Amino acid sequence: MIKMNLKGKDLITTQDWEVEELMQALELAEEMKKKRFSPEFTCILQNKSFLMFFYNPSVRTRQSFEIAATELGGHALFLEPKTMRLKSKKTAGETIEDAAKVMDRYGCGLGIRILEDKINAYGEGENIIREYAEHCNIPVISMAHDKYHPCQGLADVMGYRKHTGNDLKGKTILHTWGHGALARSHCSLQESMLICSRLGMNVRLAHPEGYALEEDVINTVQKNCSENGSEFSKTDDAVQAYKGADIVYSRNWMSEKAYEGGELNKQKEVEKALKLTDWICDEKKMKISNNALFSHPMPVDRGHEVTDGVASGSRSIIYDIAENRLHVQKAVMALTMSD
């Protein structure tokens, strides 16, 4: 494979990268996983700092990015908006342009995480990240925002490659809604659909009425599948959706009406979702799949999105995928930040 120069390239969604660039990142991540502490990798980011800007908290994201920077010989700096004087709709302060141009002169890369309850409408998180990227010369990496989660998408397919073989073409992945108490954004789900369709997988989407995803994203997934000779399909059947699936990805996400009134109506979302008890990934449904792997970006809402028997079963790869976050992020940082 021809090595492509990715220095300075933003990663806001995998759809912005060429397939060859994604494969370069995946193959480097796989090599880094095999040789985790090899001297060939431990000085790649020597003396370089990665700025991590967290509007929302995390478990895996902060740990994996901090460790990734350390293992590459660099440093990761944790930042929160509440510790900075930033302009918002309700408060005076520094503009994104000014903050971004200062960060650009301090760090060698900038990660931003902004999710559901830190915005007032779907798409605002995406707009904020892209505005930072517009004013930065250093690479801007999404650490998850309301629309996309590129590092999670890469970690997902890295796991699929390990457990089903490097060639994912023709494999069928089911993305199914799961009832739950978290009112989650669309980011991990939409990213998974995008990258899987880029790599030639058949993408199946199942959800109850009122939980449709962004139309532009669906259109892009359909286009990706068409270009790769694979299939995209949708269903509202919570059971038959599993038939023949090679991978099952069961996750809760918020409804189309989540931001009515200019804010996230979390309690209403949770109450509505918990009524749809048929939408849980359980052993009975998994039996009609093609001995499917179970995938989830975590945290798992056990007992709602999926049963313990499936999440902790022999076909679950959730911990492998969580581990992969470290390795794909090391690869992305090395490719975009190193000299």
Residues 128 and 189 in one domain: no
What angle do helix axes 19-34 and 318-337 make, rounded to 10 degrees?
Answer: 110
Q: What is the pLDDT of residue 1?
A: 52
Contacts of 46 (CB under 8 A, 6+ apart): 73, 74
Alpha helices, H only, 165-241: 187-198, 215-228
Maximum distance among all Cα pairs of the chain, rounded to whole angstroms:
56
Residues 144 and 158 in one domain: no
138 assigned to some structural domain:
yes
9 assigned to some structural domain:
no
Give 168-206 pLDDT, tens digit per residue: 999 999 999 999 999 999 999 999 999 999 999 999 999
7 assigned to some structural domain:
no
Residues 198 and 293 in one domain: yes
Using alpha carbons, select from 327, 338, 339 the residue that is nearest to residue 151.
327
pLDDT at 90 over 90: no
97 assigned to some structural domain:
yes
Residues 96 and 175 in one domain: no
277 assigned to some structural domain:
yes
Residues 208 and 263 in one domain: yes
100 assigned to some structural domain:
yes
- Cα dist from 258 to 211, 265, 279, 305, whole Å: 10, 6, 19, 19
Residues 201 and 333 in one domain: no
Residues 66 and 93 in one domain: yes
Name the average pLDDT for the chain: 96
Sheet holding 49-54, edge to edge: 75-79, 49-54, 109-114, 140-145
CATH number of the domain where residue 285 is located: 3.40.50.1370
pLDDT at 138 over 90: yes
Residues 242 and 137 in one domain: no
Q: What is the pLDDT of residue 278?
A: 97
The average pLDDT across 327-333 equals 98
| C-alpha–C-alpha distance, residues 113 and 126, integer Å | 10
This prediction's pTM: 0.97
Contacts of 185 (CB under 8 A, 6+ apart): 115, 116, 125, 145, 146, 147, 253, 254
Residues 126 and 64 in one domain: yes
Question: 93: pLDDT confidence band, cut at 50, 70 and 90?
Answer: confident
Residues 249 and 218 in one domain: yes
| C-alpha–C-alpha distance, residues 67 and 49, integer Å | 12
171 assigned to some structural domain:
yes
Using alpha carbons, select from 206, 218, 215, 214 the residue that is nearest to residue 276.
206
> Residue 250 is part of which domain span?
152-318
The average pLDDT across 142-163 equals 98
2 assigned to some structural domain:
no
Residues 182 and 283 in one domain: yes
Residues 86 and 54 in one domain: yes
pLDDT at 295 over 60: yes
Q: How many domains does the chain have?
A: 2
